[in-house]
Amino acid sequence: MPQIDQMFEIWSSQLFWLLITFGFVFFVIGRGMVPKVMDTVGMRDKQIADDLAAAQAARDAADEAEEAWRQRENANREAAQDLVNKAKAKAQKSTDTKLAKVQAAIDTQLEEAEARIEASRKEAGAEIEAVATEAAQDIAKRLAGVKATKAAAKSAVKEAMSRV
């Protein structure tokens, strides 16, 4: 086994050249290049994290804007609804007043007409009474030969008419 056979003649050379080559690897590659490579990786990770954070922030802002828009929209809709309701109420009120006015006019006309009818009827009733009284007097004179006074005839007519 050359590793053992040659040990005493080669160990110093092995040690020397290993220290030189490994020293180069450690100081130039390990200390010099590896941190830079890891920096690059770290920078990339940071960049990705930053981009993700920015995207998240933008998304949050968009959500917020949408929420605000929604609230504004709801308020607008409510206001519009309110306006419509108010207009409806107003229209209803004006209709009601107009109707009431017309109703009142109709009522007065009706009352007047009724009063007129009542007056006519009374007038007619009085005329009938007068006619009936005269007729009753006449009838009594002709049939019984009794001369009934106007007052008696009138009361008899009244009594008869109230029975009708």
Name the one range near another protein by CB under 8 A: 13-21, 59-67, 87-95, 110-118. 13-21
By CB under 8 A, name the one of 3, 144, 145, 149 that touches another protein.
Answer: 3
**7 is a contact residue toward another protein (CB under 8 A):** yes
- How many chain residues interact with another protein (CB under 8 A)? 38
Q: Which two tokens stand for residue 129?
A: 């009474």
Closer to another protein by CB, 47 or 74: give it: 47
Shortest gap between Cβ of 29 and another protein (angstroms)? 5
**C-beta neighbour count of 133 within 10 angstroms:** 20
Q: Give the residue with the Cβ less far from another protein, 30 or 125.
A: 30
Q: Which of 124, 135, 133, 164 is nearest to 151 (CA)?
A: 133
User: Which residue is listed with tokens 């981009």?
Assistant: 51
12 versus 162: smaller Cβ distance to another protein: 12
Place of tokens 């007729």: 135
**Per CB under 8 A, which of residues 32..61 are in contact with another protein?**
33-41, 43-44, 47
For the segment 15-34, give every residue that binds another protein (CB under 8 A): 15-22, 24-26, 28-31, 33-34
In which residue are the tokens 């809709």 written?
77
**Nearest distance, CB of residue 77 and another protein, angstroms:** 49
Using CB under 8 A as the criterion, which residues of the chain lie in contact with another protein when the complex forms?
1-3, 6-7, 9-22, 24-26, 28-31, 33-41, 43-44, 47
